[in-house]
Amino acid sequence: MELTDYRTSFSGKLKYAYGVGRIRAVEKRLLTKVDFAKLLEAKDNQEVLRHLGETDYSQAVLGMEERATYEVALGRKQGELFTLIQELSLDPEVTDTLRDRYDFHNLKVLLKARFGEEDLDGLLLPWGREKVDALKEAVFEGEYRGISSHHVEAIKEALFSWEENQEPGAIDLTLDRHLFSHLLTVFKMTRLDFLSGWAMREVDLLNLRTFARLKLNEAEASELRGALIEGGSLEPGFFLGILAEPWESLLSRFANTLYHQVVEEGLAKGDDLAPLERACRDYILSYLKRARLTPFGIEPIYAFLLVKEEELRSVRAVLLGKENGLDPQLIKERLPSDYL
């Protein structure tokens, strides 16, 4: 794969002047706090859909009534998003990594379907680089023709992990390691520091959530050691070194890291990890919005897709919450603070 060095090529960034201009225009149509307030105040999904019909989602929600319908509509919106990014990207080797995330999701589903002897096709997503049928042949039949080499390597290692551990979690861990290794390799080779910073932070926060969950379960250090991923700014040894410490002392341990506020907001209760999930999402959203300060380059285009995906997840959370009769306050607790 031939990768471009953007840092040494001003033209490599300037060529995105049109694309960044398009992104600046569509950013104005992102949902606002006022929009989410209306969605949360709606008495039912019919009213939610009516409010969405007054936003950028107007065409997507047309005719939506039941869950199956609105899932299709939100999927359509996701498809439109990838179409836009594909149209604006002049460096598919970079933006293809956005689709790689869905390939790894699909591999997790297929490997668990194979070993659990279940039909999980309903969980497969259509936005990856690889055709789903090709991934099925690779997982179930060992036929790797046409599959990217980094996907082949990930599948083989995940199969080996299963044989050793017989644990679904081992599959997730192996594939997560391969995904982030691939992302970081592409971003570092292209010297896209902002995107390297995003992937690094995602690794750190994934490790932080893993650490908190295992600490809550009083796991041994050996279990934590095997569950952490390389590539973040915090070495696995950092988390191992504080595993035995009391919850109340953790904040001081993160004082000189990028995540002091995340820990302060997310682990205040210690035994409740929901605030941590929200604090992590808040942190990543805040980081991605820094791309708006970049006048040229692929970074604003890439970051916009990630921000829009977070918005789609939040819209889905509201619809599911209303469908299940959840109190609006409980739904709010599942949304990033930026939308409230």
Average pLDDT over residues 303-310: 97
At 217, is the pLDDT very low, low, confident or very high (cuts 50, 70, 90)? very high
At 268, is the pLDDT very low, low, confident or very high (cuts 50, 70, 90)? confident
Structure tokens at 283: 């942190």
Average pLDDT over residues 23-32: 96
Helix runs in the chain, H state only: 10-14, 17-27, 33-41, 45-52, 67-88, 92-116, 132-136, 149-165, 168-189, 193-216, 221-227, 236-242, 250-253, 260-266, 274-288, 299-323, 328-332
Average pLDDT over residues 103-107: 97
Average pLDDT over residues 88-93: 94
Average pLDDT over residues 315-324: 93
Query: Residues with Cβ < 8 Å from 243, sequence gap 6 or more?
Result: 211, 214, 215, 219, 221, 224
At 269, is the pLDDT very low, low, confident or very high (cuts 50, 70, 90)? confident
Minimum mean pLDDT among 107-121, 125-139, 146-160, 264-278: which range?
Answer: 264-278
Give the span between the Cα atoms of 52 and 207, in whole angstroms.
35
pTM of the model: 0.92
- In this predicted structure, what is the pLDDT of residue 266? 94
Average pLDDT over residues 278-306: 95
- In this predicted structure, what is the pLDDT of residue 2? 45
pLDDT > 70 fraction of the chain, expressed in percent and rounded: 94
For residue 166, is pLDDT > 90? no
What are the pLDDT digits (tens) for 189-199? Answer: 999 999 999 99
At 6, is the pLDDT very low, low, confident or very high (cuts 50, 70, 90)? very low
Q: What is the mean pLDDT of the chain?
A: 91
CATH topology for 92-189 is V-type ATP synthase subunit C fold (1.20.1690)
Minimum mean pLDDT among 50-54, 81-85, 107-111, 311-315: which range?
Answer: 50-54
- In this predicted structure, what is the pLDDT of residue 42? 93
- In this predicted structure, what is the pLDDT of residue 11? 56
Q: Helix, strand or coil for residue 21? A: helix
Average pLDDT over residues 256-267: 95
Within its chain, how far is the Cα of 270 from the centroid?
24
- In this predicted structure, what is the pLDDT of residue 65? 61
- In this predicted structure, what is the pLDDT of residue 272? 81
pLDDT greater at residue 272 or residue 339: 339
For residue 176, is pLDDT > 90? yes
**Cβ contact 260:233 at 8 Å:** no
Average pLDDT over residues 106-113: 95
